[in-house]
């Protein structure tokens, strides 16, 4: 599976074509630190002074590299597919090798960090009680307000629809973090 990057993402990574392999390795170290501890503007400013570019350019490159590494790790892209995904970016061979080594050395840690960053989503177990409560509530409202069985069926269908929508919402949220 090849990782396809947006045009904006490619633009953010273009600074890596103008630097050597050692600097790309340093960008990789900063990207991993970004995942561990968050953004550090002082590091961006120091790198920007050394490379004579804006700190925003450095920040975008680090975030772009972080995205590349995270998505590759999350999708468990093979070594071969990672090489081909990066090859499309037009980096020199030296940089491609550094990026591949960075990915191979850090993918397990990146997966672990991403797992720790996942929000604690509600789980599907014991969802039946929610349906029971919603159905009971609608049934009681139906008894109090209307004696017509058609209205009770409509209330039941509304409760079932609300429960299904809630279940779909949880499923979508869960899939976002897989």
**Same domain assignment for residues 77 and 104:** yes
**Same domain assignment for residues 85 and 29:** yes
**Same domain assignment for residues 100 and 135:** no
Torsions phi, psi of 12, nearest 5? -65, -30
- CA pair distance 101, 111, nearest whole angstrom: 16
The answer to whether position 135 is within a domain reads yes
Number of domains in the chain: 2
Higher pLDDT, 152 or 13: 13
**Same domain assignment for residues 74 and 34:** yes
120-162: pLDDT as tens digits:
545 545 555 555 555 556 555 555 555 555 555 666 667 777 7
Final residue belonging to a domain, choices 117, 143, 166: 117
- Determine the pLDDT at residue 13: 85
- Determine the pLDDT at residue 18: 84
Tell me how many degrees the CA angle 14-20-22 measures, rounded to the nearest 5. Answer: 120
71-106: pLDDT as tens digits:
888 888 888 988 888 888 888 889 889 989 998 998
- Determine the pLDDT at residue 97: 92
The answer to whether position 136 is within a domain reads yes
**Same domain assignment for residues 88 and 169:** no
**Same domain assignment for residues 79 and 137:** no
- Domain span at residue 143 reads 128-176
**Same domain assignment for residues 92 and 147:** no
Taking CA atoms, 174 is separated from 31, 77, 151, 167, 171, in Å, by: 26, 21, 35, 11, 5
30-87: pLDDT as tens digits:
999 888 888 888 988 998 899 899 989 989 999 988 898 888 888 888 889 888 888 8
The answer to whether position 13 is within a domain reads yes
Residue 12 has pLDDT above 60, yes or no: yes
**Same domain assignment for residues 22 and 109:** yes
Determine contact, residues 24/30, Cβ cutoff 8 Å: no
pTM over 0.85: no
């Amino acid at each position: 599976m090849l990782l396809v990057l947006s045009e904006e993402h490619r633009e953010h990574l273009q600074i890596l074509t103008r630097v050597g392999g050692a600097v790309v390795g340093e960008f990789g170290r900063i990207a991993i630190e970004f995942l561990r501890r968050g953004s550090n503007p002082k590091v961006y400013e120091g790198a920007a002074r050394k490379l004579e570019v804006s700190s925003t350019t450095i920040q975008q490159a680090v975030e772009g590299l972080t995205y590349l590494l995270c998505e590759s790790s999350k999708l468990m892209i093979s070594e071969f597919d990672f090489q081909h995904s990066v090859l499309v970016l037009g980096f020199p061979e030296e940089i491609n090798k550094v990026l591949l080594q960075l990915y191979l050395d850090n993918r397990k840690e990146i997966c672990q960090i991403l797992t720790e960053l996942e929000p604690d989503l509600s789980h599907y177990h014991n969802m039946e009680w929610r349906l029971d409560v919603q159905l009971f509530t609608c049934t009681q409202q139906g008894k109090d307000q209307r004696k017509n069985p058609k209205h009770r069926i409509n209330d039941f269908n509304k409760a079932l629809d609300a429960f299904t929508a809630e279940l779909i919402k949880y499923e979508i949220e869960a899939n976002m973090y897989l």
